[in-house]
Structure 1
Amino acid sequence: MDGMTKNTPLSQAMGNQHDYLPAAGRDSMLPFYDLLTRALGAGRVHSALLRQASLTPGDRVLEIGCGTGNLTIAAKNAQPGAEIVGTDPDPLALARAERKSKGRNGLRYERAYGQALPFPDGGFDHVLSAFMLHHLDPEVKEATAAEVFRVLRPGGQLHLVDIGGNLTAADGFSARRMLKNPHVAANLGDGIPSLLRKAGFDCEEVDSRVYPHVSRVTYFRATRPA
């Protein structure tokens, strides 16, 4: 539900002039973004993802597509002893995230695209991604997965949640709408694990739940082999 990495066709189709999709879809909607994501249950999803990650003191953690910083801040609250970095290509969303995080030590933001992360090889223990992947074009997805693999240390893990997995019409009205969304199609079935395994990860599905206003949400853990 947060800001997206570079995806020119989708962003322009929504009336943007950016080479990225803004956190709220359009710049004009940014003031309402946090209220909308809260109403859609993003907090519960973030909490579940952070329980999965089990961050420990001293961990170096990167979020890609952090938007206004909701998951990044939640990660810092969950583990104050971790070093957290949030990245997003949307400068307006990042400015809002900075204001919300003012005065927090061990928490910073950088403007970056997921397929061109400005970090050294093996620099992070965990990478977090929430509701970003389904917005990306196929070639950007592959490049982003490769970059995440590169910046994780051997044994490091990507914790990813997105719409997809075994999504069917029986999951409800929102699911039936999502099944008509071409950007979700590549996330269905084994789509996400296949993408991550191609990048070199060992990948497993951790959980899958239906959120009525969002659709089926599936959690994945992908480990860079030691």
Structure 2
Amino acid sequence: MTEISSQERDYLPGMGKHYLLPLYDVVHRVSALRGVHEQMIALAGLRDGHRLLDVGCGTGNLLRATGKRHRNVELFGLDPDLKMLARAERKFRRDGLTVRLDRGYAQELPYPDHSFDRVFSSLALHHLDTASKDEMLAEVRRVLKPDGLLVLADAVLHDHKHEHLRDNVGDAVSKRIAAAGFTVEPTRMKKLRFFGEVGIEVARVH
């Protein structure tokens, strides 16, 4: 695991509170999030030799599933939480997967321009405030190669009851991605067990 030096930022942990980290993988299992990840992997159209970055990779579940299906794709994961990354690293070691894990923030990706063929983000966007969402998407566009693909899944609401998800109402996410310089396909909706709906966005650099 590589720790990238970066200006420290506040961030919302994967479960909302650091002490809830042990529940992260339990929630992943009971919510049927695996099905969302399988759909994301299929939509990415990965090929041998591709370089893939998972922004907000958490404990590595999406990268782990990707690596098992695509052994010849170069995998990178980024997350601000070192404890999450440590759990991910242990999983990859058990599975014999090679993944580069970096500590960092979605708003300032520590990679050169045009570094990746594909970028994943799963249930990370809603952790960011409005300005940071736009910064993240600008950074994703910067690190993607021409004609690269972003596959992003995030919670979708149909009202404004949850303030931290106010930017995820209706088709707000797809509009935000399009405004960042992507051509966005129609949103694919998938229900989670107990946790509402997730919208999966597929967006190509244009």
Q: TM-score with structure 2 length normalisation?
A: 0.90
Trace 1:66-215 onto structure 2 (pairs within 5 A).
Answer: 66-102=57-93, 104-164=96-156, 167-168=157-158, 179-215=160-196
- The total of aligned residue pairs comes to 198
8 Å Cα contact 1:65/1:114 also seen in 2: yes
8 Å Cα contact 1:205/1:218 also seen in 2: no
8 Å Cα contact 1:59/1:83 also seen in 2: yes
Structure-2 separation of matches of 1:220 and 1:80 = 24
What SS does structure 2 have at the residue aligned with 1:197? helix
For structure 2, the residue ranges without an aligned partner over 5 or more in a row are: 1-7
Deviation at 1:145?
0.4
Trace 1:24-43 onto structure 2 (pairs within 5 A).
Answer: 24-43=15-34
Percentage of matched positions with identical amino acids: 39
Q: Which residue of 2 aligns with 1:58?
A: 49
What SS does structure 2 have at the residue aligned with 1:102? helix
Deviation at 1:75?
1.1
8 Å Cα contact 1:130/1:161 also seen in 2: yes
Superposed CA RMSD in Å reads 1.8
- Runs of 4+ aligned residues of structure 1 deviating over 4 Å after TM superposition are none
Deviations 1:99-143 (A, max 9, x none): 111163541200010011010000000000111111210000000
Deviation at 1:162?
1.0
Structure-1 separation of matches of 2:127 and 2:174 = 17
Higher RCO structure, 1 or 2 (CA under 8 Å, sep 6+): 2
Q: Which residue of 2 aligns with 1:19?
A: 10
